[in-house]
Amino acid sequence: MSTETEEHVGAADPSATPAASRSRVSIVLISLSVALVIVALLSACIGQVPTSALEVLGSIMHRIGLDIGPLPAHPSGEVTLWEVRFPRVVLAICVGAALGCSGALLQGVFSNPLAEPGVIGVSAGAAVGASAVIVVGGTFVAGWTVAAAAFVAGLITTAAVYLLARHEGRTEVVTLILTGVAVNAFAGGLIAFFTFIASPSARDQIVFWQLGSLNGATWSSVMVVAPMAVIGIAATMMIAPRLDLLALGEHAARHLGVNVERLRQVAVLIVALLVSASVAFTGIIMFVGLVVPHLMRIVVGPGHRALIPASALGGGLVLLLADLGSRSLVANADLPLGMLTALVGGPFFFWLLRRTRARQGGWA
């Protein structure tokens, strides 16, 4: 291996970074974790049923068998916390972590700053599945039926994009992205068709689902999304060293023993599972998978063994803050979550692009 290649490997490998850099990464991860706990506690306190932070902590302590702290004074406090707020908080963290991890993984495996979960068609495919079931079932369709249809359709669409992009046993990045654009456009046409033929009530349901919301969060949905998020993030961490080598370029990565095609297959599968499970219960949530990895890359650097957990924690924190805003910005209203993330994420992403271009002339 040449000296130049060795230097590049060292730059891509976080284990080769100085102790000061590793210390900074540790500080960032700890800070994100603490911020996540604080915002989760604040989110559990805010709502129509008044609850203090001490009452929230007391309720948790009593539930695990410790007689510490006060219980909620409001008669409906316990039920509100455990049946409404806590599932919503946990689901927001799981979905945000899944989207943040997916964005970092796709940007790494495609070496493309614009890569995000929607680029492989998973979100659009899930929307088609949900729209089709809503049109067939109308207002009487069960939430789990919509979620199951969205999950399956997301996986099928991702598989279709990948198979259509393959040529002679290989999948070029540009071809995959362009195929995703074409499939997303076709899926958009199907969604428009379903919206056109739907009844007024079903049409409203389709539109609301596409805007994204955590309003229907339950422990059952958490039990589906949480294991997917944990398994997906753990699997991403396992392939993180190979993602660092792929940053050197496909030729160099193959020379260093990386099966690039297999790596892309694994990455697309992980993203499909993470995003399909997430959007199945929340609808489409924009920009979390695009903006959060960019921001975390600026803070912790390009090494994926630091970038992946930072993006997961950052994604959970961002979505939790967005959900807090959706419940508190307008009195007695639950604003669409996807609308807020798009309104905030779009300008913020533009600022990130300007900052990166000014400082480095490329993407961070």
What is the predicted pLDDT for the residue at 360? Answer: 59
For the chain, how far is it from start to end, CA to CA, in angstroms? 26
What is the predicted pLDDT for the residue at 352? Answer: 75
What is the predicted pLDDT for the residue at 362? Answer: 47
Angle between helices 260-282 and 143-165 (to 10 degrees): 160
* Average pLDDT value for residue range 260-282: 90
What is the predicted pLDDT for the residue at 16? Answer: 47
Rounded Cα–Cα distance for residues 117 and 123 (Å): 7
Rounded Cα–Cα distance for residues 222 and 363 (Å): 35
Alpha carbon separation from 354 to 92, 198, 362 (Å, rounded): 29, 42, 10
Which range marks the domain in which residue 42 is found? Answer: 3-360
Domain of 114, CATH number, reads 1.10.3470.10
What is the predicted pLDDT for the residue at 24? Answer: 87
Instruction: Give the pLDDT band (50/70/90) at residue 141.
Output: low
pLDDT at 142 over 60: yes
Domain total for the chain?
1
> Across all residues in the chain, what is the average pLDDT?
86
Indicate the SS3 state at residue 274. helix
